[in-house]
């Protein structure tokens, strides 16, 4: 049957373009589908006849197709085609070479962990608080086709509290940024860095209370339960805006997803 690559043309910076990426993939014998506005990549992946499922897009585009690959017991291929491509970085791919990543369809497989929150799969992390608010407002502006999305979203949240009061595995936490990650991140000034491993087998909780987080509080656990005194909460799963209903139940599926990666050069 061969592999299928779904391409999100609204990701990245058009270098290469979606059509150029499709041409390079089809030259390798990979079937492609460029997503139209409103198409559901998970449903397309679920219906496709394929022996490998690939997604070309940013971090937020990957998990729905990876979830179908897991559901169908098929290998998954990540083609970095977004702005930051954090998952591709942690997987060891060259984030600046989406065409080179197509070689993964003929590459080797490795098993990695995936996380779930209330039965929704994520590859990197799920965040609450300040960052999640920024993601939601940026998406709102994008849908209204306003310019300077990031700057407008940041300006709107500067005066808002976004300070969470939560129970995390029974422990009270107050933070402006609360994040549950699939594996341990390197802690850097003001932000989280990369992950050294994608098969560590543990969830990590990170909390920071400042607008610019100079220090992080970290905990690790095989499962995480977050209780909040509200009926719904804005979140960002792998950078994608979602709304969740507390309590939030996080668990890990160790080495559940088989990911294909390009072969190493001789």
Flag whether pLDDT at 115 surpasses 80: yes
Query: 62 lies in a domain?
Result: yes
106, 135, 167 - which closes a domain = 106
Angle (deg, nearest 10), helices 130-143 and 149-157: 130
**Of 119-128, 147-156, 216-225, where does mean pLDDT reach its minimum?**
147-156
Query: 113 lies in a domain?
Result: no
Looking at residue 137, its pLDDT comes to 61
Flag whether pLDDT at 131 surpasses 90: no
Q: Which domain holds residue 60?
A: 3-106
Buried b (16+ CB within 10 A) or exposed e, 173-187: bebbbbbbbbbbbee
- pLDDT interval class at 187 (50, 70, 90): confident
Query: 120 lies in a domain?
Result: no
Q: What is the pTM of this model?
A: 0.88
Looking at residue 12, its pLDDT comes to 72
Query: 72 lies in a domain?
Result: yes
**Of 49-53, 157-161, 180-184, 186-190, where does mean pLDDT reach its minimum?**
157-161
What is the domain count for the chain?
Answer: 2
| pLDDT, tens digit (0-9, with 9 covering 90-100), for 212-257 | 666 788 999 999 999 999 999 999 999 999 999 999 999 999 999 9
In the Cβ-directed half-sphere of 155, how many Cα atoms lie within 13 Å?
6
Of 145 and 168, the one with more pLDDT: 168
Is residue 86 located within the same domain as residue 179? no
Is residue 251 located within the same domain as residue 129? yes
Question: What mean pLDDT value characterizes the chain?
Answer: 89
């Amino acid at each position: 049957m061969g592999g299928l690559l779904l391409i999100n043309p609204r990701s990245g910076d058009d270098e290469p373009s979606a059509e150029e990426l499709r041409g390079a993939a089809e030259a390798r014998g990979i079937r492609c589908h460029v997503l139209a506005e409103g198409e559901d990549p998970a449903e397309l992946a679920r219906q496709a006849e394929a022996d490998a499922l690939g997604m070309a897009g940013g971090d937020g585009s990957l998990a729905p197709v990876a979830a179908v690959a897991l559901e169908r017991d098929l290998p998954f291929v990540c083609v970095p085609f977004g702005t930051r491509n954090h998952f591709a970085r942690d997987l060891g791919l060259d984030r600046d070479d989406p065409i080179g990543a197509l070689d993964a369809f003929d590459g080797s497989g490795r098993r990695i962990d995936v996380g779930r929150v209330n039965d929704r799969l994520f590859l990197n992390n799920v965040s609450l608080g300040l960052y999640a608010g920024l993601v939601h407002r940026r998406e709102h502006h994008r849908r209204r086709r306003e310019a300077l999305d990031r700057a407008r979203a940041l300006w709107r949240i500067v005066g808002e509290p976004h300070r969470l009061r939560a129970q995390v595995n029974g422990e009270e936490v107050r933070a402006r940024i609360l994040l549950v990650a699939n594996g341990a991140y390197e802690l850097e000034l003001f932000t989280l860095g990369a992950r050294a491993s994608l098969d560590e087998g543990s969830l990590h909780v990170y909390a920071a209370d400042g607008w610019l987080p100079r220090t992080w509080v970290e905990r690790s656990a095989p499962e995480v339960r977050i209780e909040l005194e509200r009926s719904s909460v804005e979140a960002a799963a792998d950078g994608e805006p979602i709304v969740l209903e507390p309590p939030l139940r996080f668990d890990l599926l160790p080495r559940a997803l088989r990911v294909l990666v390009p072969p190493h050069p001789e």
